[in-house]
């Protein structure tokens, strides 16, 4: 395919992703780049796009593996090829989407970072609550940890969904799914002070549904929460993400004896397999303890 025609084709594919498939901009750009790599390979192999079958796609996948590309990138390649296949079928260039037959590579799943209870206490106790915004920050990160919230769930939490008397919050998670999460006495005390004193001071005459607001009395953004957490990180020297608080919540529950199904409900996971990764974290802790304290694993000179 001549270079000018290839660019026109890739732009058509890119536009189709945005308009017909309604993909995100970054996804469309990634798929366009991947499609370009595939077209270049076809050109080097002297294979016409219209004559491609599953065999050529398989050979291309093998070729990409020989380049030492990670499983994650290979999975993105396949997603791009499947999207390209859908486009080619609509354009009557392929009779069917041959890329659908290819198996998606399994990328290794890394264990989530988890903080100890002591580290959580260090983070929360480092927040200066002598100012209205400081108290607000304390409530935010206390709730994210003690309720296992995503940042987006914390930012979108409505006042009407906070039930102080019953000590639970109604959270709207991914896909609009709702779940009820209880909170403890410390979160209760902080919420009462924030909702009765700090929040009215920040909101003033505005009508705002969200619980957490910025200094202008407007709903706080995810970026705003992230920036506040970065400030705390610099202060105490613990380099983790806000989401690590949610990971720690789940792990501490399991370590405390909670069953997996309950943790799944509290986290709002649609699949139990997603929650099971936290059992591997606790298993790792057990292995470390076994190595450190079981005498059979110590050298004779250490006894």
What are the residue ranges spanned by the domains of the chain? 3-101, 117-290
Catalytic residue among 64, 138, 179, 269: 269
Q: How confident is the model at residue 270 (pLDDT cuts 50, 70, 90)?
A: confident
Q: Is 174 a catalytic residue?
A: yes
DSSP string across 92-129 = TSSSS-GGGGSPPP-PPPPPPP---HHHHHHHHHTS-T
Catalytic residue among 76, 136, 138, 150: 150
Q: Is 22 a catalytic residue?
A: no
Q: pTM of the predicted model, to two decimals?
A: 0.60
DSSP letter at 182 equals E
Q: Is 290 a catalytic residue?
A: no
Q: Average pLDDT over the chain, rounded to whole? A: 87
CATH number, domain 3-101, options 1.20.1440.230, 1.20.140.10, 3.40.50.2000, 1.10.150.130: 1.10.150.130
State residue 65's pLDDT score. Answer: 87
State residue 71's pLDDT score. Answer: 76
Q: Is 292's pLDDT higher than 80?
A: no
Could you count the other beta carbons within 10 Å of the beta carbon of residue 65?
13
Catalytic residue among 76, 82, 199, 246: 246
- Please give the average per-residue pLDDT across 189-207, as a whole number: 96
Question: What architecture is the 117-290 domain classified under in CATH?
Answer: Orthogonal Bundle (1.10)
Q: Is 38's pLDDT higher than 60?
A: yes
Q: How confident is the model at residue 70 (pLDDT cuts 50, 70, 90)?
A: confident
Q: Is 150 a catalytic residue?
A: yes
Q: Is 246 a catalytic residue?
A: yes
Given a contact cutoff of 8 angstroms between Cβ atoms, the answer to whether 65 and 78 are in contact is no
Which of 176-180, 221-225, 236-240, 250-254 comes out lowest in average pLDDT?
A: 236-240
Distance (Å, whole) CA 136 – CA 108:
38
């Amino acid at each position: 395919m001549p270079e000018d025609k290839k660019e026109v084709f890739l732009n058509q594919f890119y536009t189709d992703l945005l308009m017909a498939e309604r993909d995100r901009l970054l996804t469309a750009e990634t798929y366009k780049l991947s499609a370009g790599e595939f077209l270049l390979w076809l050109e080097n192999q002297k294979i016409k796009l219209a004559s491609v079958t599953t065999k050529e796609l398989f050979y291309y996948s093998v070729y990409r593996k020989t380049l030492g590309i990670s499983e994650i990138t290979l999975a993105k390649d396949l997603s791009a090829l499947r999207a390209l296949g859908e486009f080619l079928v609509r354009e009557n260039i392929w009779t069917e989407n041959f890329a659908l037959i290819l198996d998606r590579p399994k990328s290794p799943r890394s264990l989530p970072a988890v903080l100890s209870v002591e580290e959580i206490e260090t983070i929360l106790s480092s927040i200066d609550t002598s100012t209205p915004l400081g108290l607000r920050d304390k409530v935010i990160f206390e709730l994210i940890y003690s309720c296992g919230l995503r940042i987006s769930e914390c930012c979108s939490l409505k006042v009407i969904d906070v039930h102080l008397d019953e000590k639970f919050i109604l959270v709207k998670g991914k896909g609009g799914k709702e779940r009820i999460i209880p909170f403890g006495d410390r979160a209760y005390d902080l919420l009462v002070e924030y909702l009765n004193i700090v929040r009215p001071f920040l909101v003033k005459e505005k009508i705002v549904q969200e619980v957490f607001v910025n200094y202008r009395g407007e709903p706080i953004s995810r970026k705003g929460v992230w920036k506040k957490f970065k400030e705390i990180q610099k202060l105490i020297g613990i380099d983790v993400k806000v989401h690590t608080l949610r990971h720690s919540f789940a792990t501490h529950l399991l370590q405390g004896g909670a069953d997996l199904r309950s943790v799944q409900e509290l986290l709002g996971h649609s699949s139990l397999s997603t929650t099971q990764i936290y059992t591997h974290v606790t298993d790792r802790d057990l292995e470390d303890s076994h190595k450190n304290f079981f005498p059979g694993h110590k050298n004779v000179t250490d006894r």
